[in-house]
């Protein structure tokens, strides 16, 4: 594909080359990705690779402006190959069914009221009703499906998973569509009845932590703090339970591009960033269950930096544990 | 003439003709409507007339249907009934036995007659209750000029007997009613005793603004009984004005004081039989204003006491006292409290108030309805082997085995009220549906999984309570479509070639609609997940 340089770049005369490069990379000009996705791809596969690289190199804006959110939604849609065609009709059809059966509906209502209540921007953007509607539609849709993987109609944590999508997407049906792709296609093992994917992810977190930071791993294990205790929430919610939300979205940009298996490494990156605090903490668990605010770029950089330390076999397990319910890591 | 307005039609009539017609009209109306309280129907018809002002011309316009013959006939009828009115006048005079009063009355009669001749062009026929009310107000205002400030309208609702009993500070000399101006007793202020008897000379009609006077007052003057009879318009007014708690007027024991009721009823029966019929009609429902008061206050109080003693039952306690009401027709106290309260026992208090605030006619019909129910409660009505079920308000078979014709009809399932209104900016929904249908039909042969999918248990969902969470307003729905359309315009081209690279697995269990809209990642297409590792490994040289 021939990438057309944005017109804004042409209108900058007499710029030295270095300054020109800086101009391209400046965060207030994200027209690169926007322009890139606005052109039809000649080869989808290669265009997707290009888009991934643009996300890695430039990143999407973190502003909460409507256009920025829409661009992020479009990018997530392209990267996850989620077509929004007819999404509104499908959503409304499911919505017509109303609330799901009582136990599911009660669980949903019990959780939605507590979803990211400390995040003011989320509270202002997403209503509880939207969360309830989307989760209810997902429950109905799951009942209709007979997937290879028995996905639960609702498990605790789905509300947090849905939060960044509703926060980002310009409409509920689009968020619901992305959520469906995420649950059915990207992390189906995470939302099974036995949460086998999350359990495997916890085991992999322990393994990877041991490989990456043996000292911290030993400290935590000496304090009987395994990943199943402190890392379940971050694993299940793909780190969306951590704050701030706009940084979560940026983290998700990368994971939509290169895979959500990277979440395990990103969790380790967050732990490594506060390892001194953990060592000095009287009660490390209090620190681990409520991780401090993080910077997505930093975590991505750290997480990607862990990759050389991960053996190929473990990396395959990282990739597989998201979708393979038969995988059992001992 | 064709272009002339309604008013233009009246211009050929001279004032003289109008005056003569006015007088005839009054006579006719006195014949046809002998001081009977106007019905609600008459009020309505009056309101409906296109002549809202009270000018004499306007009234005559509505009487153009009268022919001269009919007018003559009515006039003859009136002449034939002159004796009747004379009798009434005579009786009225007899009631006020002193000669002085007769002289006063004669003087007043003459004065009124003179004034009638002078002011005849102002006279008009009270065609409706509304006019009566307004005229009454006008006359009250004139009285106000003469006697000082008037009391509030609420006082007009109470009976004279109630007022006289509840005002002990009246001096003995002041407790005298002008019989022909019965309302004065209720309209008085504190400063000037409203109940003092005014000399007939004080009623200087000439000093009144005759434009504000109404014919009813003036015509009633010659006959004192007429003025008394005009009171029968008051219950109608009261009934019309009753609201809320005023509706309890019927059941209020304070109001149901019998002091002069028997006398007034006697007087009515003796003097005016047609009016009595009307009076009796109302008697069962409301307490009527008693007749004119006579005698000194002391003697009147004694009379009241005697009347109460002779008419009131020996009430042992309050409860028993509340359980009776005075029937003026039979001049007896009758127990009825059970009947009254029975009809209201199951009523909501708000409903009761709402019903009470309606006009008198509605209230009467309502009471009748309750009476019917009460009668049913005691003695079930059987009509053609059907009995009225009071509780459910339906007719049931005596045998009890009623076939339900709707037994096999299922209940209507409440559907969601979500509206799918399409935006003008969007593609037509019908086109989309067609495309989708075609897509499904095209894949029909390949999809053996269509019947494999779990059947939806939608029966439960169809009876869900209407939850506002699941109702999306049209504005939001339009926004959804708008965003979807925007997505199509922006990046729809990324999906034109299909998503074959990603959608190659695990679609067997999917519903046809959902299957087409959910992309699943195959094992073979997780290469991108290794991409970052390759990049890092390549960059580190490993």
Q: Of B397, B412, B440, which residue sits at a domain end?
A: B397
pLDDT, tens digit, for every residue of B439-498? Answer: 444 444 333 333 323 344 444 444 455 577 888 889 999 999 999 999 999 999 999 866
Q: Of B335, B359, B381, which residue sits at a domain end?
A: B335
Once rounded to an integer, what is the mean pLDDT over residues B306-328? 58
Q: Tell me, what's the pLDDT at B373?
A: 46
pLDDT, tens digit, for every residue of B325-341? Answer: 777 777 777 765 555 55
Q: What is the DSSP string of B370-411?
A: HHHHHHHHHS--EETTEEEETTTTEEEESSS----TTTTSPP
Answer whether residue A30 shows pLDDT above 60: no
Q: Do residues B313 and B392 share a domain?
A: no
Q: Is B322 helix (H, G, I), strand (E, B) or coil?
A: helix
B517 band by pLDDT with thresholds 50, 70 and 90: very low
**In the CATH scheme, what architecture does the domain A87-186 have?**
Orthogonal Bundle (1.10)
Between B130 and B143, name the one with better pLDDT: B130
Q: Do residues B104 and B186 share a domain?
A: yes
Once rounded to an integer, what is the mean pLDDT over residues A79-106? 92
Best residue in B479, B480, B500, B534 for a mutation probing chain A (most A CBs within 10 Å): B480
CATH number of A196-320: 1.10.472.80
Q: Tell me, what's the pLDDT at A316?
A: 95
Tell me which residue range forms the domain holding B524: 429-531
Once rounded to an integer, what is the mean pLDDT over residues A296-313? 95
Q: Do residues B461 and B480 share a domain?
A: yes
Q: Do residues B188 and B258 share a domain?
A: yes
Q: Tell me, what's the pLDDT at B477?
A: 93
Could you say which of B472, B490, B532 has the minimum Cβ distance to residue A95? B472
Looking at A40-54, A193-207, B295-309, which range is the least confident one? B295-309
Once rounded to an integer, what is the mean pLDDT over residues B57-80? 51
Closest CA to B269 of B330, B320, B209, B185: B330
8 Å CB contact between B211 and B122? yes
Tell me the average pLDDT of chain B: 54
Separation of alpha carbons B250 and B454, rounded Å? 69
Answer whether residue B22 shows pLDDT above 50: yes
Once rounded to an integer, what is the mean pLDDT over residues A298-305? 95
Answer whether residue B348 shows pLDDT above 80: no
All structural domains of chain A with their residue ranges: 7-59, 87-186, 196-320
Separation of alpha carbons B294 and B288, rounded Å? 18
State the maximum Cα–Cα separation within chain A, in Å, rounded to a whole number: 67
pLDDT, tens digit, for every residue of B278-300? Answer: 544 544 444 444 445 444 555 55
Residues 6+ apart with CB under 8 A from B317: none
Between A219 and B367, name the one with better pLDDT: A219
Contact between chains at B532 and A258 (C-beta distance less than 8 A):
yes
Q: Of B316, B335, B354, which residue sits at a domain end?
A: B335
Once rounded to an integer, what is the mean pLDDT over residues B77-94? 61
- B86 part of a folded domain: yes
Q: Tell me, what's the pLDDT at B215?
A: 41
Tell me the average pLDDT of chain A: 88
A70 touches chain B (CB under 8 A): yes
Q: Do residues B330 and B356 share a domain?
A: no
State the maximum Cα–Cα separation within chain B, in Å, rounded to a whole number: 140
Between A56 and B39, name the one with better pLDDT: A56
- B170 part of a folded domain: yes
Between B68 and A54, name the one with better pLDDT: A54
Q: What would the two tokens of residue B452 be?
A: 């494999």
Q: Tell me, what's the pLDDT at A307?
A: 95
Separation of alpha carbons A50 and A36, rounded Å? 9
8 Å CB contact between B482 and B489? no
- B410 part of a folded domain: no
Question: Which range, A109-123, B6-20, B385-399, has the best average confidence (pLDDT)?
Answer: A109-123
8 Å CB contact between A48 and A78? yes
Please give the helix or strand (H or E) that residue B325 lies within, else none. strand B324-327
E-strand spans in B34-163? none
> Measured between beta carbons, which residues in chain A are less than 8 angstroms from residue B494?
37, 40-41, 44, 47, 78
Once rounded to an integer, what is the mean pLDDT over residues B183-202? 43
A44 touches chain B (CB under 8 A): yes
Q: Do residues B331 and B345 share a domain?
A: no
Contact between chains at A97 and B490 (C-beta distance less than 8 A):
no
Could you say which of B429, B487, B536 has the minimum Cβ distance to residue A174? B487
- Crossing angle of helices A128-144 and A87-95, rounded to 10°: 90
Q: Tell me, what's the pLDDT at B540?
A: 80
Once rounded to an integer, what is the mean pLDDT over residues A22-27? 41
Total domains present in chain B = 3
Q: Do residues B443 and B326 share a domain?
A: no
Q: Do residues B323 and B351 share a domain?
A: no
8 Å CB contact between B504 and B525? yes
Between B61 and A281, name the one with better pLDDT: A281
pLDDT, tens digit, for every residue of B223-243? Answer: 444 444 444 444 444 444 444
- B408 part of a folded domain: no
Q: Tell me, what's the pLDDT at B337?
A: 52
Q: Do residues B475 and B382 share a domain?
A: no
Separation of alpha carbons B358 and B240, rounded Å? 8
- B404 part of a folded domain: no
- Crossing angle of helices A172-181 and A158-168, rounded to 10°: 130
Between A33 and B362, name the one with better pLDDT: A33
Contact between chains at B477 and A172 (C-beta distance less than 8 A):
no
Between A114 and B133, name the one with better pLDDT: A114
Closest CA to A241 of A183, A306, A157, A302: A157
Once rounded to an integer, what is the mean pLDDT over residues A1-30? 40
Separation of alpha carbons A50 and B238, rounded Å? 89
Question: Quick count: other Cβ atoms within 10 Å of Cβ B316?
Answer: 8
Contact between chains at B480 and A90 (C-beta distance less than 8 A):
no
A122 band by pLDDT with thresholds 50, 70 and 90: very high
Nearest-CA distance from B439 to chain A in Å?
Answer: 13
Q: Is B223 left (phi over 0), alpha (psi -120 to 50) or beta?
A: beta
Once rounded to an integer, what is the mean pLDDT over residues A110-118? 92
Q: What would the two tokens of residue B437 be?
A: 């249908």
Query: Which residues numbered 220-259 in A keep a CB inside 8 Å of some CB on B?
Result: 257-259
- Tokens 């950089």 belong to residue: A301
Provide the ipTM.
0.88
Query: Do A87-186 and A196-320 fold alike per CATH?
Result: no
**CB crowding A174-202: b at 16 or more within 10 Å, else e:** bbbbbbbbbbbbbbbbbbbeebbbbbbbb
Separation of alpha carbons B27 and B43, rounded Å? 20
Q: What is the DSSP string of A211-238?
A: HH-HHHHHHHHHTT--HHHHSHHHHHTT
Q: What is the CA radius of gyration of chain A?
A: 20
Please give the helix or strand (H or E) that residue A88 lies within, else none. helix A87-95
Q: Tell me, what's the pLDDT at A67?
A: 86
Nearest-CA distance from A186 to chain B in Å?
Answer: 7
Answer whether residue B213 shows pLDDT above 50: no
Q: What would the two tokens of residue B485 be?
A: 């359309």
Once rounded to an integer, what is the mean pLDDT over residues B193-200? 42
A227 band by pLDDT with thresholds 50, 70 and 90: very high
Q: Do residues B282 and B321 share a domain?
A: yes
Contact between chains at A48 and B528 (C-beta distance less than 8 A):
yes
Answer whether residue A185 shows pLDDT above 70: yes
Q: Do residues B186 and B93 share a domain?
A: yes
Q: Do residues B329 and B373 share a domain?
A: no
Answer whether residue B261 shows pLDDT above 60: no
Separation of alpha carbons B116 and B109, rounded Å? 10
- B412 part of a folded domain: no
Q: Tell me, what's the pLDDT at B240?
A: 44
Between B133 and A122, name the one with better pLDDT: A122
> Measured between beta carbons, which residues in chain A are less than 8 angstroms from residue B529?
258-259, 261, 319
Separation of alpha carbons B247 and A67, rounded Å? 66
- Crossing angle of helices B474-491 and A66-79, rounded to 10°: 60
Nearest-CA distance from B447 to chain A in Å?
Answer: 14
Q: Tell me, what's the pLDDT at B388?
A: 80
Q: Is B327 helix (H, G, I), strand (E, B) or coil?
A: strand
> Measured between beta carbons, which residues in chain B are less than 8 angstroms from residue A45?
501
> Measured between beta carbons, which residues in chain A are less than 8 angstroms from residue B495?
81, 83, 85
- B80 part of a folded domain: yes
- B209 part of a folded domain: yes
């Amino acid at each position: 594909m021939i990438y057309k340089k944005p017109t804004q770049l042409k209108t900058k005369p007499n710029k030295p080359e270095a300054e020109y490069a800086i101009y391209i990379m400046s965060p207030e000009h994200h027209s690169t990705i926007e322009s890139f996705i606005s052109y039809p791809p000649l080869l989808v596969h290669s265009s997707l690779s290009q888009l991934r690289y643009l996300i890695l190199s430039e990143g999407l804006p973190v502003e909460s402006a409507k256009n920025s959110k829409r661009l992020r939604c479009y990018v997530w849609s392209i990267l996850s190959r989620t077509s929004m065609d007819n999404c509104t009709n499908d959503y409304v059809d499911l919505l017509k069914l109303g609330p799901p059966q009582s136990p599911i509906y009660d669980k949903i209502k019990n959780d939605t009221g507590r979803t990211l209540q400390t995040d003011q921007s989320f509270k202002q953007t997403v209503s509880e009703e939207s969360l309830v509607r989307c989760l209810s539609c997902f429950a109905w849709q799951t009942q209709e499906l007979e997937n290879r993987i028995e996905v639960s109609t609702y498990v605790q944590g789905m509300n947090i998973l849905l939060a960044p999508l509703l926060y980002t997407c310009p409409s509920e049906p689009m968020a619901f569509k992305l959520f469906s792709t995420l649950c059915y296609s990207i992390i189906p093992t995470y939302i099974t009845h036995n949460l086998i994917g999350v359990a495997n992810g916890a085991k992999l977190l322990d393994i990877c932590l041991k490989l990456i930071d043996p000292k911290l791993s030993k400290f935590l294990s000496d304090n009987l703090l395994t990943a199943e205790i402190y890392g379940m929430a971050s694993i299940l919610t793909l780190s969306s339970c951590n704050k701030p939300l706009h940084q979560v979205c940026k983290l998700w940009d990368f994971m939509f591009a290169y895979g959500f298996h990277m979440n395990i490494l990103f969790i380790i990156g967050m732990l490594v960033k506060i390892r001194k605090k953990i060592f000095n903490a009287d009660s490390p668990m209090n620190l681990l269950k409520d991780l401090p605010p993080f910077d997505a770029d930093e975590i991505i950089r750290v997480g990607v930096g862990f990759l050389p330390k991960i053996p190929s076999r473990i990396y395959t397990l990282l990739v597989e544990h998201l979708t393979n319910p038969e995988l059992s890591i001992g | 003439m064709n272009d002339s307005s309604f008013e233009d039609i009246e211009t050929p009539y001279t004032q003289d003709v109008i005056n003569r017609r006015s007088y005839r009209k009054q006579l006719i109306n006195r014949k046809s409507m002998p001081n009977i309280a106007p019905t609600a129907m008459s009020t309505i018809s009056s309101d409906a007339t296109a002549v809202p002002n009270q000018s004499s011309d306007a009234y005559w316009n509505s009487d153009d249907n009268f022919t001269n013959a009919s007018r003559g006939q009515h006039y003859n009828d009136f002449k034939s009934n002159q004796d009747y009115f004379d009798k009434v006048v005579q009786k009225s005079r007899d009631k006020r036995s002193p000669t002085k009063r007769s002289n006063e009355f004669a003087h007043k009669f003459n004065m009124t007659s003179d004034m009638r001749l002078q002011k005849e062009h102002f006279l008009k026929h009270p065609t409706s209750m509304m006019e009566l009310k307004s005229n009454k107000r006008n006359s009250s205002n004139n009285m106000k000029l003469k006697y000082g400030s008037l009391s509030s309208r609420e006082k007009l609702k109470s009976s004279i007997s109630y007022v006289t009993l509840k005002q002990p500070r009246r001096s003995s000399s002041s407790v005298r009613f002008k019989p022909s101006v019965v309302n004065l007793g209720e309209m008085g202020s504190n400063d000037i005793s409203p109940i003092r008897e005014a000399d007939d000379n004080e009623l200087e009609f000439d000093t009144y603004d005759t434009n504000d006077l109404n014919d009813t007052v003036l015509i009633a003057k010659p006959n004192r009984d007429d003025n008394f009879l005009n009171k029968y318009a008051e219950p109608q007014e009261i009934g019309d004005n009753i609201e809320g708690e005023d509706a309890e007027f019927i059941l209020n024991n304070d109001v149901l004081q019998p002091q002069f009721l028997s006398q007034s009823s006697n007087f009515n029966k003796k003097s005016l039989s047609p009016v009595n019929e009307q009076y009796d009609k109302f008697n069962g429902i409301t307490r009527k204003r008693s007749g004119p008061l006579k005698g000194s206050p002391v003697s009147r109080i004694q009379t009241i006491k005697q009347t109460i003693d002779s008419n009131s039952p020996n009430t042992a306690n309050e409860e028993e006292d509340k359980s009776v009401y005075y029937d003026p027709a039979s001049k007896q106290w009758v127990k009825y409290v059970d009947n009254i309260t029975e009809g209201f026992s199951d009523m909501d208090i708000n409903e009761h108030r709402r019903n009470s605030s309606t006009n008198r006619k509605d209230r009467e019909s309502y009471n009748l309805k309750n009476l019917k129910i009460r009668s049913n409660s005691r003695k079930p009505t059987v009509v053609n082997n059907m009995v009225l079920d009071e509780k459910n308000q339906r007719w049931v078979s005596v045998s009890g085995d009623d076939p339900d014709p709707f037994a096999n009809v299922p209940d209507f399932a409440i559907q969601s009220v979500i509206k799918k209104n399409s935006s003008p900016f969007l593609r037509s929904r019908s086109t989309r549906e067609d495309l989708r249908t075609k897509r499904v039909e095209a894949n029909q042969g390949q999809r053996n999984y269509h019947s494999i999918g779990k059947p939806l248990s939608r029966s439960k969902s169809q009876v869900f309570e209407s939850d506002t969470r699941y109702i999306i307003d049209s504005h939001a729905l339009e926004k959804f479509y708008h965003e979807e359309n925007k997505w199509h315009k922006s990046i729809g081209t990324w999906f034109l070639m299909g998503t074959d690279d990603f959608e190659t697995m695990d679609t067997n269990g999917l519903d046809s609609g959902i299957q087409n809209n959910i992309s699943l990642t195959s094992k073979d297409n997780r290469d991108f997940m290794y991409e970052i590792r390759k990049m890092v490994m390549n960059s580190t040289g490993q």
